[in-house]
Amino acid sequence: MAQAVIFPKLGQTMEEGAIVKWLKKEGGAVAKGDILFEIETDKANLEVESFFEGVLLKIYVREGVTVPVNTVVGYVGAAGEKVPDVAPKAEGAPAKPEPVTPSRVESPRVEPARVETRLPEASPAVPTIPNSSFLIPNSAVASRPVGKQQQPISPRAKALAKGACIDVSRVAGTGPGGRVVEKDVVAYLESSGYNALRVTPAAKRLAAEKGVDILTVRGSGDGGRIMVDDVERAAKRKPVPMSRMRQVIARRLVESKQMIPHFYVTVKADITDLMAFRAGLKAKGVSLSVNDFVLEAVVLSLEEFPVVNSATDGAAVAWRGDVDLGVAVSVESGLVVPVVRAAQTLTLRELGAQAKALAEKARAGKLLPDEMAGSSFTVSNMGMMDVDQFAAIINPGEAGILAVSSGRQVPAVVGGEVKVRTVMAMTLSADHRIVDGSTAARFVNAVRAKLENVELWKALV
Amino acid sequence: MYDFDVIVIGAGPGGYPAAIRAAQLGKRTAIVEREAFGGTCLNWGCIPTKTLIASAERYRHAAHSEAFGVTTKGAAFDYAKMVARKCDIVAKLVGGIQSLLKSNGVEMVRGAARFEDAHRVSVVQPDGSARWLSASAIIIAAGSDSAMPGFLPQDKRVMDSRAFLDLTALPESLLILGGGVIGCEFACMAAMLGAKVTVVEMLEDIVMVLDRDVRRVLRRRMEALGVEVLTGAPLTGIAVKRGKVSGTFNGRKLSGDALLVAVGRKPNTAALDLARAGVNVDERGTIPVDAQGRTNVASIFAIGDLVTGSIQLAHAATQQGVAAAEAAAGLKSKAESICPACIFTSPEIGLVGLTEAKAQQQGRDVKVAAFPFAALGKAMAAGETDGFVKWVADPTTGQLLGAQAIGCHATELISEAAVAIRNELTIDEIGRAIHCHPTLSESWMEAAHVFHGACIHLPKR
């Protein structure tokens, strides 16, 4: 019997998604474990495997179409088996839909890929962003495809404009009712400097192929001749919709910056003693990163300042209870933020081990959407990136984010003397609606004090 | 104040044009040469090999012209005279270069140069005295030498191409290590003069830069000349005993009067003391540069064989030398990206731009069209029907991306393709351009017709 292939629900918050790419064709053989298609959610791209063997009999959902989870997207079965012409409704899907497992998760390709969290109880699901609402000012548009304009145009004028690779909407029509006629195009070509353009044959073909208005292309060849590279550069100016994930990230960052009154407090922690302590541990075979100490210091400080571990929508404030710590991890294609759950219940070593495991999973591209959702506070450490100081954008649904910079050897005053010390800047971005300036100051100083207190670490390791 | 505006280190096919161009632009210029003006190209490369190949072909024609209705009796050759002729031609050209440099007012300094700092070099002159030169810009054009791997025995019978060219008697049997361009050129030349030649190449085939169809013709023709071509395994256990060089290929014992080593070239950077000038060198000893030939030190340029990723051809070095001289003079010049290559095997080979194999590696969709010499009247008349030309073009725009030619005069034929590709013609223009009949260059036009499925001179398929 043919098995329905359903669009998987891969996270608790996941309600819909789109198939980015089918890796099998209709009529193609499918083996157990073969990747059937790749899906895109607002957090990641995932490959979906088949658990059945046979032939992909039918594809209902084309690439790029957003559908609710559990939608039947196709059927796998024996060759020649009959399947419905139209996809059955999601409710009518077989009781035992074909199980699917994600085999690989592609990480977000962007730096500020903060995880999505919500106020408990309060917030609605993330609305989808229709591609058509994607707007870019006209000035940024390199060219509009010939033939999509509103104004009337004669067939001869249209053909001439197309052959010349120009945007006909720029041509003023002198025919009845403003109709563009052939002589208008000819006049435009003369007045616009078109006739003086020098274009290589291949570049002109490519411009026609890509719908690039040749008048907008700057030539880099001999004597300003327009070359293939120039057309390709111009074609790239055309806006293309970002991935769904990227759009969600963009919207959430804007939302955060517009809705949350950010303010920033920076302290510099002297980590010289901590580094020495850590080196001593390493010699004993205990491997903890500087970031592990930072995370633990943050967890302990959040317990002292619960308001920094809460969230507000402007009307109500909710304390998060657990410290679900988001840890930004740099991966090949950008940055992801896996979450260490109930971090306050973990020992320093457990916290370090979990953060390490999640980071490895992130780098292998194996994080699931749920593992990147629901953090209550986030730490973004760019210590490896050789930066003096930076400020991060708060994840909506959190009250703050701590941006950790590189340790620097600097002259510092210790006991009235100038010494070389390793100093690391940390900047808290806080939601001023619930975090007061003095609270933020005390919070970052609490983090600093812990990092500088080696006696504390001796007790905790 | 410096002694010169520009110093060029090395007077090969890259260095002397750089010096002349700098002088043309009004720069006070010096050129330093440690051995012979004209460099490898003129003294131990392009020119001497082509001279000997011309002699070899002359002999072969003389000995094998019965089919043309020409009977020759007792055709014989004197290799020593061939070498003497080569030496005459080289001497004439070397003299020519020196007079070109002189007429442009370039100061010629003999000796090995090494950097003292970013603007100063010291030169140990032939009489042992040292001379210091300084300049605001320095162009490094010191070239490369044959790589002689350490596992080779130190013996006069184991030689690089340079030593081979000085032999006054041709070895009766010759082993060649390396089936690249140089190895195959020497193999053809020696085989035409009756030597028993064996080429051993570790890779799966000879001259791997070429597409498979081109290599197939070359290999077949080399074998027809009597060259034994062994590929896919190394030559091991190389030893010299009792006047013979021997080695083992795939368990088979090989032996010859001499071993020509042609396994690649190494950059002449070690003796320049580049570190003192602060010039970065990568792990292979080559110098990374930008599009204008500028090294990491703004006033120092590098061109030719010793540049990272260089294609090691005389004409590429010339173009880079001119571009670097112009950049040193403050002009904004750009190195050309399209560089044809020629291989003087028998038959000759020319290639330019993208090969089918390279397109495949890049995942680029291309369409290929070839035309065989066997269908050309001129090729039949000349008795040279083995070979073909082929275009590699973009399937949508028809842009010419690459070309290869193998057969009679292929090294001349390739220039038409280079001009067409460099100027971004499409295959349509080539098809429409009238080519002389009867010539070999008609094949480019015919191949274009093949591309369009409109070839007159091939049977309909």
B397 vs A200: CB contact, 8 Å cut-off?
no
Do A314 and A331 reside in the same domain of the chain?
yes
Count contacts between A and B (CB, < 8 Å): 30
| Same domain, residue pair A149 and A170 | yes
Residues of B in contact with A229 (CB under 8 A): none
Cis-peptide into A137, omega within 30 deg: no
Catalytic residue among A21, A156, A236, A432: A432
Residue A209 CB: number of other CB atoms within 10 A? 14
Helix (H) or strand (E) holding B394: none
Chain B contact for A209, CB < 8 A? yes
Which among B424, B427, B428, B451 is the top mutation candidate for probing chain A, defined by the most A β-carbons within 10 Å of its own β-carbon? B424
Domain boundary among A189, A204, A236: A236
In chain A, how long is the greatest CA-to-CA distance? 89
B423/A contact by beta carbon, under 8 A: yes
Alpha-carbon gap: B70 to the closest alpha carbon of chain A (Å): 48
Burial of A334 (0-12, 13-18, 19+ CB in 10 A): middle
A7 & A52 share domain: yes
Q: How far is B298 from chain A (nearest CA, A)?
A: 24
Query: Chain B 234-253, CB below 8 Å of chain A: which residues?
Result: none
Q: Name every chain A residue with its beta carbon within 8 A of the beta carbon of B397.
A: 202, 205-206, 209
> Using CA atoms, how far apart are residues B231 and B249, in angstroms rounded to an integer?
9
Question: Of A200, A201, A237, which is closest to residue A221 (Cα–Cα)?
Answer: A200
Q: CB-based contact (8 Å) between A224 and chain B?
A: no
Asked if the Cβ–Cβ distance from A205 to B397 is below 8 Å, we say yes
Longest dimension (CA), chain B: 74
Domain-embedded: residue A114? no
Residue A129 lies inside a defined structural domain of this protein: no
CB contact under 8 A, A202 and B428: no
Q: Do A201 and B396 touch (CB under 8 A)?
A: no
Mean per-residue pLDDT pooled into runs of 10, chain B (461 residues):
96 98 97 96 94 95 92 93 96 96 97 97 95 97 96 95 95 97 97 97 96 97 97 96 95 97 96 96 95 95 95 94 95 87 96 96 96 96 95 96 97 97 96 96 97 89 72
Same domain, A320 and A189: no
Tokens of A43: 């957090």
Query: What is the distance between the alpha carbons of residues B54 and B50, in angstroms, rounded to a whole number?
Result: 6
For residues A385 and B127, what is the distance between their CA atoms, to the nearest angstrom?
54
| Cβ neighbours of A202 in B, within 8 Å | 394, 397-400, 424-426
CA distance B27 to chain A (A): 25
Domains and CATH numbers, chain B: 4-146+266-328 (3.50.50.60), 158-263 (3.50.50.60), 347-451 (3.30.390.30)
CA distances from B60 to B48, B172, B193, B459 (A): 18, 17, 7, 34
B432 touches chain A (CB under 8 A): no
User: Which residues of chain B have a CB within 8 Å of the CB of A211?
Assistant: none
Q: B430: Cβ–Cβ under 8 A, 6 or more apart, which residues?
A: B391, B400, B420, B444, B445, B448
Question: Token pair of B325, please?
Answer: 């001289």
Closest CA to B245 of B232, B236, B254: B254
What is the domain-level CATH number for residue A201?
A: 4.10.320.10
As annotated, the active-site residues of B are 437
Taking contacts as CB-CB distances below 8 angstroms, the residues of chain A near B451 are: none
**pLDDT value for A334:** 62
Query: What span, in angstroms and rounded, lies between the C-alpha atoms of B257 and B63?
Result: 25
Hey, is the C-beta of A124 within 8 angstroms of any chain B C-beta? no
Secondary structure (3-state) at A361: helix
Cα–Cα distance, A145 to A215 (Å, whole number): 13
Residue A20, min C-alpha distance to chain B (Å): 20
- A229 contact B CB<8A: no
Confirm if A430 and A412 have CB atoms less than 8 A apart: no
Interchain proximity B394–A201, CB inside 8 Å: no
Residue of B nearest to A209 (CA): B397
Q: Select the residue of A200, A205, A206 nearest B423 (Cβ to Cβ).
A: A200
- Any A CB within 8 A of B338 CB: no
- Beta carbons of B426 and A205 less than 8 Å apart: yes
A 236-295: CB under 8 A from B: none
B399 contact residues in A (CB cutoff 8 A): 201-202, 205-206, 228
Write down which residue in A236, A270, A289 finishes a domain: A236
A-chain CB neighbours of B391 within 8 Å are none
Min Cα separation A202/chain B (Å):
5
Contact A201 B429 (CB under 8 A): yes
- Measured CA to CA, the distance from residue B328 to residue B5 in angstroms comes to 9
Indicate whether A338 belongs to any domain.
yes
The Cα–Cα gap between A91 and A126 comes to 22
CB burial of B393-420 (b: ≥16 within 10 Å; e: otherwise) equals bbeebbbbbbbbbbbbbbbebbebbbeb
For residue A202, how many other CB atoms are within 10 A of its CB?
27
On the CB side of A452, CA atoms within 13 Å amount to: 16
CA-to-CA distance for A5 and A1, rounded, in angstroms?
13
Q: How far is A402 from chain B (nearest CA, A)?
A: 38
Domain holding A350, by residue range, is: 244-460
**Is A251 among the domain residues?**
yes
| CB within 8 Å: B429 and A228 | no
Residue B104: which H helix or E strand, with range? none
Question: Same domain for A404 and A268?
Answer: yes
Contact B46/A at CB under 8 A: no
Chain B partners within 8 Å of A203 (Cβ): 424
DSSP letters for A143-208: ---TT--SS-B-HHHHHHHHHHT--GGGSPP-SGGG-B-HHHHHHHHHHTTGGG--B-HHHHHHHH
Kindly state whether residue A119 falls inside one of the protein's structural domains. no
B337–chain A Cβ distance below 8 A for any pair:
no
Sheet arrangement for strand A45-49: A66-68, A16-22, A35-40, A45-49, A102-106
Task: Report the C-alpha gap between A249 and A234 in whole angstroms.
Answer: 27
Distance (Å, rounded) from C-alpha A247 to C-alpha A261?
Answer: 22
Regarding whether A253 and A230 lie in a shared domain, the answer is no
At A85 the pLDDT is 81
Question: Both A305 and A406 in a single domain?
Answer: yes
Same domain, A420 and A322: yes
Contacts of A206 in chain B (CB under 8 A): 397, 399
Quick one: tokens of B27?
């720069």
CA distance A209 to chain B (A): 7
Q: Is the same domain home to A307 and A440?
A: yes
Residue B189 to residue B209: CA distance in whole angstroms: 21
Examine residue A123 and state whether it is found in any structural domain, yes or no: no
Chain A CA closest to residue B394: A202
Written as six digits, the tokens of B141 are 């054009």
Whether residue B168 lies within 8 A of chain A, CB to CB, comes out as no
Three-class SS state of A142 = coil
Rounded-to-integer distance, Cα B405 and Cα B441, Å: 10
Q: Which residues contact A434 (CB under 8 A, 6 or more apart)?
A: A307, A310, A312, A317, A399
Same domain, A266 and A200: no
**How far is residue A387 from each of residues A157, A275, A382, B94, B231, measured CA to CA in Å?**
58, 18, 7, 56, 53
Split into its structural domains, chain A has a count of: 3
Q: pLDDT tens digit string along A247-304?
A: 878 888 899 999 999 999 999 999 999 999 999 999 999 999 999 999 999 999 999 9
Which helix (H) or strand (E) segment is B61 a member of?
helix B46-63
A24: in domain: yes
Angstrom distance (rounded) from CA B286 to CA B298: 17
Cβ–Cβ of B396/A202 closer than 8 Å? no
pTM over 0.80: no
Give me A231's structure tokens: 């057309």
Q: How far apart are CA A302 and CA B207, in angstroms?
A: 66
Domain at A54, CATH number? 2.40.50.100
Distance CA A129, CA B378 (A): 66
pLDDT at A129: 34
B30 to A136, B11, B113, B254, B317: CA distances (angstroms): 56, 10, 12, 49, 18
CB-based contact, B398 to chain A, within 8 Å: yes
Residues of chain A with pLDDT under 70: 42-43, 89-150, 332-334
pLDDT for the residue A275:
96
Could you tell me if A202 lies within 8 Å of chain B, comparing CB atoms? yes
* Domain end position, chosen among A106, A126, A155: A106
Q: Is A203 exposed, middle or buried (0-12, 13-18, 19+ CB in 10 A)?
A: buried
CA B24/CA B113 separation, integer angstroms: 24
Q: Are residues A160 and A230 in the same domain?
A: yes
Calculate how close chain B gets to A33, using CA atoms only, in Å: 26
Residue A134: its pLDDT value, please?
34
A209 and A251 belong to one structural domain: no
Q: How many CA atoms lie within 13 A of B246 on its CB side?
A: 9
State whether residue A176 sits within 8 Å of chain B by CB: no
Residue-by-residue DSSP string for B159-186: E-HHHHHT-SS--SEEEEE--SHHHHHH
The contacts found for B307-315 with CB under 8 angstroms, 24 or more apart, are: B308/B282, B308/B284, B310/B286, B311/B339, B311/B341, B312/B144, B312/B265, B313/B339, B313/B341, B314/B12, B314/B13, B314/B14, B314/B41, B314/B45, B314/B46, B315/B13, B315/B339, B315/B340
Within-domain flag for A147: yes
A205 with B399: Cβ contact below 8 A:
yes
